[in-house]
Structure 1
Amino acid sequence: MIAINNLTKSYSKFKAVDGVSLTAKPGEITILLGPNGAGKSTTIKSIAGLLKFEGEITIWGCPNKTLDAKKVFGYIPETPALYDLLTPMEHAEFIAKAYKLESGWEDKARAIFERLEIYDKKDKYIRELSKGMTQKLSIALALLIEPKAVLFDEPLVGLDPKAINEVLKILVELRSQEKSILVSTHIIDTINDVWDRAYIMNKGKIVSEITKNDFKGRDLKTIFFELTGEEEECRQ
């Protein structure tokens, strides 16, 4: 699982995240929501090990910055972190070597690439690909290592409807495999049918933890607006 205990991150005198605790449990799709400036990005970057912070973050029981944690952790950043002069298949090879994947990784890469409809672009340079293609590649690379915990930061941005539907199917499959899944997103309507647990942030704090069973018959966006008071601003 992904577990955060009393996460605090300050920039000079500004406290971007203030004592946040949350858990993305195995077999659940956990959503992190919040208006702009709520502290979501800082929380996500802290989980991914990109920032120094106070508090504790563990991935399946291991501190998030340790090698043991990174071996079982897949991260899809909001902006794909790829090399312009490498191809998608070269990226897959790089990941396979870095994670010491067993022989046969090529077949896994091809299967994921074909599912996300990027296999025909496997030999193109990254700089030649669209935003949607690079987003799908970022997802494919994170899944190639068969992680136990996956962190998606705005995974649906830039994707066409067919790709969005496929990513949602992948989330459901990961849940059925008892993976820990944490998704940070602004596209609440699209995620409404698959989420299990949601943490809502505002002004650096978790203001509510809810489960779908708590709010049967109500959509997540309505709940979000009620708890944050952001309805008018978000709908403009």
Structure 2
Amino acid sequence: MLEVHIRSAGYKEAETIITNVDFSVQAGELVALIGANGAGKSTTIKGILGMLPHMDGEVTVSNYAYVPEQPVYYDYLTLWEHMELLAATKELSETWKDEALKLLHVFQMEESQHEYLGQFSKGMKQKAMLMLAFLAKPSIYIVDEPFIGLDPTAVRDFLKLLEKERKRGAGVLLCTHVLDTAERICERFLLVSKGTLLASGDITAIQQAADKPGESLLECFDSIVRRNYA
């Protein structure tokens, strides 16, 4: 699904933001890329998507859907027109309309489907980005900070749909600093700080790396970061 081998990368030739980031995401896996703000999570994602001007490394990624932290949309298109454009671009079958209506219902956006996204609140824009991703039915989802701006009901609905997609066989790379939620829903964790991958594995492996058996992901992350940058 996704293979990442980044030796170094950054926005300027003489400036390295991330180094030695190696990981993979397999079919049906939900993997969390975690770290504090400014740790290098979003830069890593940009490297995966080929959006960095300077990168030494290799990335292999299959058919994917990317949900950015800051919604990207066309001011002059309504939500439904965004869905129509996606369907045409991806050459989706006619059943896409039925799926689109289901997504509108799940996210309680039926009444807003013919409105321009520029008129939406932050949370509504985030819902729109998620709906477009789910409509695409990719092999892997790359989602950057999805919980920002979502109300608790929308978070619940998002996680239910994500689980359904995993059962379909889709992989998920979830970039977040909401560690309690990540610990609850993810199978593996990639701990990033100052642009470097400090630890990876399931919660037991992370606890062992932190020498904190039975402790929370937050406690383990804090311990590993402090130990590496004391």
Q: Calculate the TM-score normalised by the size of structure 2.
A: 0.89
Matched residue, 1:4: 4
Q: Give the match's secondary structure for 1:79.
A: coil
Write out the 4+ residue segments of structure 1 that deviate beyond 6 Å after TM superposition.
Answer: none
- Give CA-to-partner distance per residue, 1:156-199, whole Å, 9 cap, x none: 10000111111122222222222110011111122321110001
The worse-fitting range, judged by mean Cα deviation, of 7-16 and 86-95 is 7-16
The worse-fitting range, judged by mean Cα deviation, of 168-177 and 74-83 is 168-177
Unaligned runs of 5+ in 1: 61-71, 231-236
Matched residue, 2:210: none
Aligned 8 A contact 1:86 1:125 in 2: yes
> How far is 1:213 from its partner?
4.3
**1:97–1:7 CA distance, 2 compared to 1 (3 A):** farther
Determine whether 1:110 maps to 2:89: no
Structure 1 residues 57-96: aligned runs within 5 Å: 57-60=59-62, 72-96=63-87
Matched residue, 2:152: 161
Determine whether 1:131 maps to 2:122: yes
Determine whether 1:100 maps to 2:91: yes
Q: Calculate the TM-score normalised by the size of structure 1.
A: 0.87
Q: Give the match's secondary structure for 2:37.
A: coil
Q: Give the match's secondary structure for 2:91.
A: coil
Structure 1 residues 46-61: aligned runs within 5 Å: 46-52=47-53, 53-60=55-62
> How far is 1:76 from its partner?
0.4
Give distance in 1, aligned partners of 2:88 and 2:7.
33
Q: Give the match's secondary structure for 1:14.
A: coil
Unaligned runs of 5+ in 2: 208-212
> How far is 1:113 from its partner?
1.6
**1:175–1:104 CA distance, 2 compared to 1 (3 A):** closer
**1:6–1:122 CA distance, 2 compared to 1 (3 A):** same
Aligned 8 A contact 1:76 1:138 in 2: yes
Aligned 8 A contact 1:200 1:207 in 2: yes
Q: Give the match's secondary structure for 1:102.
A: coil
Aligned 8 A contact 1:195 1:212 in 2: no
Q: Give the match's secondary structure for 2:185.
A: coil
The worse-fitting range, judged by mean Cα deviation, of 51-60 and 118-127 is 51-60
Aligned 8 A contact 1:172 1:194 in 2: no
**1:7–1:142 CA distance, 2 compared to 1 (3 A):** farther
> How far is 1:155 from its partner?
0.5
Q: Give the match's secondary structure for 2:17.
A: strand
Q: Output the aligned Cα RMSD.
A: 1.7
Aligned 8 A contact 2:33 2:192 in 1: yes
Matched residue, 2:113: 122
Matched residue, 2:14: 13
How many residues end up aligned between the 2 structures?
Answer: 219
Give distance in 1, aligned partners of 2:79 and 2:7.
35
